[in-house]
Structure 1
């Protein structure tokens, strides 16, 4: 099955480079391009791509606002954030807005292709290094919500309370940025079993994907600096 991709970046040369990489893959098809968030929204409506490669810093509507709109209005489309810096506060905001992944613009072609395939399959793409450094850096800037309030009061978010001991263990590994294969190796489980656990965790937490589950972990105080 072919995965359709929309390229969104205000730099035409970067879009061309991404297109050249993706056109070499038989299962990936670039169906359109956009130079800003507003155009990206129009293209998503017209083309219904499976994955949007989204820059965050663009003139007019930025990638954060565009991501939030796409996630809310087009749940079948996944957003993979592109950024120059691995500790980009704007990229973090885009992840909170519902993006399913985070990728540096200098990623190798094979990494780009793998990231698109992962996001299209319903997984999330945030490297362990970026997961730890970025979320720990910005955890204290998360808005106070129900989960945060529960953590500060020493309580337990009711969604987390529904998890089994094994599911909490798997969730902790997800929060470290480990892939299903890495979790399977650590816990002596099959990848299929880990995938099942992750699916149940996301359903119980009521979150879209692994990235949103990690954000919830930090908000609830389940993980954080020095806790993993």
Structure 2
């Protein structure tokens, strides 16, 4: 069955172009289109797409709000930011709300399709150019982690729960919870999904 996709962009020509390209892929199918935050939330809730391509600037809000509200309504929808803005703050906000990828509209159409497929398969991708600039501009957030916290970070990035990590390391679940709390604090993060996205970004050198 084709992967269901929703396109969120307030420019109809752009939206239709992306939709035609996605539909042409064969293994992907556009099930909804929206040009505003309200439409995106309403249609996303009704259709529950597997992947949503979301523009950042919308007439009644931002793509960040769309991603946050879709997460509240349907945790199964994986969101990809598709934007013209190569902006560090926007990238950070996208990561914070759980976006799986941050893609610039300057990429080739085939790359957008590749990203949708990868995100549908469970991968977390980020725009390498933006990540490279952020890594150059900011100190390594893992520099203050203890060896135990680094190991926990690796296991969190693999998708393991605290219980799974405790069993893997042979320690108490409470100990793992403490490590996770300390790790996130030292890295300046608030949620596990942000840590997963950060690790994925460090490992990713290409979308393909």
TM-score w.r.t. length of structure 1: 0.65
The residue that corresponds to 2:150 in the other structure is 160
Give the conservation status (yes or no) of the 8 Å contact 1:71–1:99: no
TM-score w.r.t. length of structure 2: 0.70
Give the ranges of 4+ consecutive aligned residues of structure 1 lying more than 6 Å apart after TM superposition: none
The residue that corresponds to 1:225 in the other structure is none
The residue that corresponds to 2:183 in the other structure is none
Provide the secondary structure at the position in 2 that maps to 1:162: helix
Give the gaps of 5 or more residues in structure 2.
166-179, 181-190, 203-208
**1:129 Cα offset (Å):** 2.4
Structure 1 residues 146-198: Cα deviation after superposition (integer angstroms, max 9, x where no partner) = xx8xx79x5549753436xxx58xx9xxxxxxxxxxxxxxxxxxxxxxxxx84
Provide the secondary structure at the position in 2 that maps to 1:124: coil
Report the number of matched residues: 176
Give the conservation status (yes or no) of the 8 Å contact 1:64–1:97: yes
**1:216 Cα offset (Å):** 7.4
Alignment of 1:93-112 (within 5 A): 93-112=93-112
- Matching of residue 50 in structure 1 with residue 50 in structure 2: yes
2: CA distance, partners of 1:69 / 1:33: 16
Alignment of 1:2-17 (within 5 A): 2-17=2-17
Give the gaps of 5 or more residues in structure 1.
141-147, 172-196, 223-228
Give the conservation status (yes or no) of the 8 Å contact 2:104–2:127: no
Backbone CA RMSD of aligned residues: 3.4
Alignment of 1:51-200 (within 5 A): 51-134=51-134, 137=137, 154=144, 156=146, 159-162=149-152, 167=154, 198-200=158-160
